[in-house]
Amino acid sequence: MSYDAYQNEKLGFTTRQLHAGYHPQDNRWAKQVPIYQSAAFEFGDFARCERLTFREEQGFSYSRCSNPTNKVLEERIASLEGGTAALSFASGMGAIFAVLMNLAEAGDEIITVPTMYGESVTLICDIMPSMGITGRIVQDPDDISAFEALINDKTRAVYIESLGNPLINIIDFKELARIAHQHGVPLVVDNTFATPYLFRPFEFGADIVVYSATKYLGGHGTTVAGLAVEKGDFNWNNGRFPQFDKFRKNGTKNIPEEILSSQLFTLRLYQRSLSLFGAHLSAQSAFYILQGIETLSLRMERHAYNARAIAIYLSKHPKIREVSSPVLENNPYHALAEKYFPKGLTGMLSFRVRGGKAAAVTVLDNVHLFDQMVNVGDSKSLIVYPAVATHFGLTLEQQADAGIYPDTIRVSVGIEDIEDLIADLDQALAMI
């Protein structure tokens, strides 16, 4: 058996989701990635200690910074995403915060949108301002010129989600990346709802991709985790990012130039967020995310198939006011979905019931197969009331901007038999 698969980037997505980044020969021929449950690693002798410290040799010394199990996960996601490097974090929020703090310093600005996971909006617009970093919100994310209007000398990133949570809105990535790059600003995309199987943001101009790996990547609701991936060709030397020039001068001795130029963002992210802030994922958790990724493409096909069927079913139901899913032809994002998501959309969708909050609560409390939970991307179907459970940190106005009303319900459609899911929703809607 040849194990070339661990580093062959030409192999298909499903082959790489099983093999990329792992070679059994390096691990006593264990076929499954071992969990390196070790806080620290022996140097062996002083000469090796020096070589590792001064980066003359690759290796591991302390799990707060790097661990062999995490390394496989990081290399695997970089391969699936088409990036040069990745790092794993203790949560999606940990990854998002670390990435933004690598880009912006006090006095800088980040441009973002209201149609996102509520905690990300809160982080950028309420928490980061207390650190001197201003979050600027584009009120209409469908209007790309509105992003450009907010770009100024202080802008350090445009931050969006590939599929907004919970509206499932789509921004014209190519156009947005073009505008951002014209001004020397990187585009950061949270690709949690799509995963690299359905959408690869780097192919459409993104520079950094972040994940809540807790969701579809892990896929089984077992583990909280985050990932950050770098594309590797952004010019950090364009005058907007003096912190990277400083890092290059002071912190990168003995790193080969080809690594420095294609992984500069990740190297600095590593030094700050893992070494200094201590935000690394545990090896045990990295193992669970790796297990999930092994079946990612198969699960995403089924999630997308089931969610499409449910969107169509709901769109015809008399007790439903509106369904937010770009798979529907009358959805404002249908054309962008066809352009950017030819393999299908996520398992996520939201809908509004007729009868306000009381009707929504009736559905929530009467479904049997959909569990009421804040999580998404589990193989099992989940349902939630976003105004209280996921976007509670936002004002009513911010919630409306994100497509959340008192009658909104969000579902994360699992991979169960579709007939069972539709029958369950049907009986719950009949209770209204």
- What residues make contact with ligand PLP under the rule CB under 6 A? 91-93, 117, 120, 161, 165, 190, 192-193, 212, 214, 224, 226, 376
- We find the least distance from the C-beta atom of residue 118 to ligand PLP, in angstroms, to be 9
- We find the least distance from the C-beta atom of residue 223 to ligand PLP, in angstroms, to be 9
The residue among 111 and 376 lying less far from ligand PLP, judged by its C-beta, is 376
Tokens of 43: 């140097």
- Torsional class of 377: left (φ above 0), alpha (ψ -120 to 50), beta (otherwise): left
> Of 346, 348, 350, which Cα lies nearest the Cα of 360?
350
- We find the least distance from the C-beta atom of residue 414 to ligand PLP, in angstroms, to be 16
Angle, vertex CA 123, rays to CA 395 and CA 215, nearest 5: 100
Tokens of 136: 């600027």
The residue among 389 and 418 lying less far from ligand PLP, judged by its C-beta, is 389
The residue among 394 and 429 lying less far from ligand PLP, judged by its C-beta, is 394
The residue among 22 and 199 lying less far from ligand PLP, judged by its C-beta, is 199
The residue among 151 and 382 lying less far from ligand PLP, judged by its C-beta, is 382
* CA pair distance 6, 16, nearest whole angstrom: 7
Whether residue 407 contacts residue 358, with contact meaning beta carbons closer than 8 Å, is answered with no
Peptide bond between residue 141 and the one before it cis (omega within 30 degrees of 0): no
Does an H or E element contain 371, and which?
A: strand 371-372
> Of 151, 138, 159, which Cα lies nearest the Cα of 95?
159
The residue among 293 and 428 lying less far from ligand PLP, judged by its C-beta, is 293
The residue among 226 and 320 lying less far from ligand PLP, judged by its C-beta, is 226
Whether residue 313 contacts residue 100, with contact meaning beta carbons closer than 8 Å, is answered with no
- We find the least distance from the C-beta atom of residue 274 to ligand PLP, in angstroms, to be 16
Angle, vertex CA 22, rays to CA 208 and CA 300, nearest 5: 55
- We find the least distance from the C-beta atom of residue 376 to ligand PLP, in angstroms, to be 6
> Of 361, 375, 369, 379, which Cα lies nearest the Cα of 423?
369
The residue among 116 and 151 lying less far from ligand PLP, judged by its C-beta, is 116
Interaxial angle between packed helices 296-315 and 418-429, expressed in degrees from 0 to 180 and rounded to the nearest 10: 40
* CA pair distance 91, 11, nearest whole angstrom: 29
Position closest to ligand PLP via CB: 92
Label residue 393 exposed, middle or buried (CB < 10 Å: 0-12, 13-18, 19+). middle
- We find the least distance from the C-beta atom of residue 42 to ligand PLP, in angstroms, to be 32
Label residue 253 exposed, middle or buried (CB < 10 Å: 0-12, 13-18, 19+). exposed
Say which DSSP state 368 is in: S
> Of 95, 75, 292, 380, which Cα lies nearest the Cα of 212?
95
- We find the least distance from the C-beta atom of residue 339 to ligand PLP, in angstroms, to be 21
- We find the least distance from the C-beta atom of residue 89 to ligand PLP, in angstroms, to be 8
Number of neighbours of residue 256 by Cβ within 10 angstroms: 9
* CA pair distance 230, 226, nearest whole angstrom: 14
- We find the least distance from the C-beta atom of residue 167 to ligand PLP, in angstroms, to be 12
- We find the least distance from the C-beta atom of residue 210 to ligand PLP, in angstroms, to be 7
The residue among 161 and 424 lying less far from ligand PLP, judged by its C-beta, is 161
The residue among 86 and 428 lying less far from ligand PLP, judged by its C-beta, is 86
- We find the least distance from the C-beta atom of residue 52 to ligand PLP, in angstroms, to be 31
For the chain, give the longest Cα–Cα distance. 74
The residue among 118 and 344 lying less far from ligand PLP, judged by its C-beta, is 118
Tokens of 214: 């807790």
